[in-house]
Structure 1
Amino acid sequence: MTDSSAITAYWDAAADDFDAEPDHGLRAAGTRDAWSRLLTAWLPPDPSSVLDVGCGTGSLSALVAEAGHRVTGIDLSPRMVDRARAKLSAAGLPARFLVGDAAAPPTGDERFDVLLSRHLVWTLPDPGAALADWTARLRPGGTLILVEGRWRESDGAGGGYVAGAEALPWHGGVTAADLSAAVRPLVTELRVEPLSHAPVLWGGPVTDERYAVIARV
């Protein structure tokens, strides 16, 4: 099994080049606009508090803040958090970023209207416990947004992730069916939106399973 220091070191090392991936940096206008449209459709119409867990360099946090929401980003990697703070500061966008375990965010008893997570649950040693923690942080009627996929079936190795990662319950990603089954007992409403068919989101065509689970507590 992986340990937190190894995971932190992995993502710290990845921070410098993280935004080079089209769906990470959202540097292409078409990709950025496509993600912005998705978030607009998923987020409440009124200004809301949004917890972005596993925020990375803050690209989605920036879109959330641009839409007028109050965003808090959490990431285990201090270097990722540094880049997220710098990104939103340069754009003149308000946000709060904290270094901490995304599976148990260091926000105390604070409750949020939305919890957003993208491509994170496959890295968690106990995804069921994290999902229970996340839904408990939402206010009644709050929204859980999980952008996930089973995108590493072709190589099976998780792209050279930290030692012991093969023991993770959802190593290599998680199918929509499996994630929905884990989330459904925790929520009152749930739907799945397939995302594999939209190459603009990923910087090109993909052949693996990518989707969003949108749920309400």
Structure 2
Amino acid sequence: MNEPLTPVAAYWNAAAPAFDREPDHGLRDPAVRAAWRRRLAEWLPGAGLDGRDGGDGRDGFGGTAGLDVLDVGCGTGSLARLLAEAGHRVTGVDLAPAMVDLAREKFAAAGLTGRFLVGDASRPPTGGDRYDAVLCRHLLWTLPDPVAALREWTARLRPGGRLLLVEGRWREAGAPVEPYAPGAEGLPWAGGVPAGTLTAALRPLVRTLRVHSLASEPALWGGPVHDERYAVLAHL
């Protein structure tokens, strides 16, 4: 018998049917989908983390081209699908069973192989598995302890692995943010996290990192945005 959902999980479960209506969630617009495909190919190249392929289909880890990628807070699997289409092996984790069901359906309809698990993305239920890359988009603001999640995700990476965080700040600094669901009170990064705050928390955990501003790329969002949008690409 399934355990009842927590209020936070229930909130996202209820949001699942309409989730893909947002242009950057469902990626239904070919231009939006193409923009994310280009960016993901730049950040997580299929030829391996060091970008070398030598023409023999082998990557920098000694395997065939394509990475083992963990997508934490995968939602309905839209970014995971792009990664799988690029030849990566994707595992997605989301707290909401309805999100996971839609991700599985999306992969099945496209004839793609992927693994999707229901669980806390801040502590992915993947056992001792290690990955070439961990991807997280617009999740940190929902977590009660985002710094602990960053430590957990870097611990899941293989040597030389990459952590890709797509984040932003959607509220004015210091402005009150109402909890979006019972149990979401007092979140440290509610309303989003500025790039400076995130990089300060991440820097002790990684070897190098780089911030990519995304606010001036309307194709990623389905139109212009007027707040902070960015990605952090960090190397273990």
Counterpart for residue 32 of structure 2 = 31
Alignment-mate amino acid for residue 6 of structure 1: P
Structure 2 residue 177 is matched with structure 1 residue 162: no
Structure 2 residue 128 is matched with structure 1 residue 127: no
Alignment-mate amino acid for residue 170 of structure 2: W
How many Å separate the matches in 1 of 2:188 and 2:13?
23
Note if contact 1:8-1:77 (Cα within 8 Å) is conserved in structure 2: yes
RMSD across aligned C-alpha pairs, in angstroms? 1.4
Note if contact 2:7-2:183 (Cα within 8 Å) is conserved in structure 1: no
Structure 2 residue 104 is matched with structure 1 residue 103: no
Structure number with higher relative contact order (C-alpha < 8 Å, ≥ 6 residues apart): 1
Note if contact 1:48-1:114 (Cα within 8 Å) is conserved in structure 2: yes
Give SS of 2:25's match. Answer: helix
Among candidates 137, 140, 146, match of residue 159 of structure 2: 140
Q: CA deviation at 1:156?
A: 4.8
Counterpart for residue 150 of structure 1 = 169
Note if contact 1:117-1:146 (Cα within 8 Å) is conserved in structure 2: yes
Structure 2 residue 235 is matched with structure 1 residue 216: yes
Structure 2 residue 197 is matched with structure 1 residue 178: yes
Alignment-mate amino acid for residue 162 of structure 2: T
Within-5 A mapping of 1:181-200: 181-200=200-219
Q: Deviations 1:32-56 (Å, cap 9, x if unpaired)?
A: 0000000000003231100000000
Q: Deviations 1:13-42 (Å, cap 9, x if unpaired)?
A: 000000000000000000000000000000
Aligned residues: 213
Q: CA deviation at 1:152?
A: 3.2
Please identify runs of 4+ aligned residues in structure 1 that moved more than 4 A.
none
How many Å separate the matches in 2 of 1:53 and 1:12?
16
Counterpart for residue 84 of structure 1 = 103
Q: Deviations 1:112-145 (Å, cap 9, x if unpaired)?
A: 0000000000101001111000000000000000
**Higher mean Cα deviation, 45-54 or 149-158?**
149-158
Counterpart for residue 22 of structure 2 = 21
Q: Deviations 1:158-202 (Å, cap 9, x if unpaired)?
A: 6x6113534001000000000000111000010000000011111
Counterpart for residue 10 of structure 2 = 9
Counterpart for residue 86 of structure 2 = 67
Counterpart for residue 55 of structure 1 = 74
TM-score of the two chains, using structure 1 as the length reference: 0.95
> Residues 7, 30 of structure 1: CA spacing in aligned structure 2 closer, same or farther, 3 A cutoff?
same
> Residues 164, 107 of structure 1: CA spacing in aligned structure 2 closer, same or farther, 3 A cutoff?
closer
Instruction: Quote the sequence identity (%).
Output: 64
How many Å separate the matches in 1 of 2:128 and 2:172?
38
Structure with the higher helix share, 1 or 2: 1
Q: Which runs of 5+ in 2 are unaligned?
A: 48-64
Structure 2 residue 118 is matched with structure 1 residue 117: no
**Higher mean Cα deviation, 58-67 or 41-50?**
41-50
How many Å separate the matches in 2 of 1:100 and 1:216?
25
TM-score of the two chains, using structure 2 as the length reference: 0.87
Give SS of 1:165's match. Answer: coil
Q: Which runs of 5+ in 1 are unaligned?
A: none
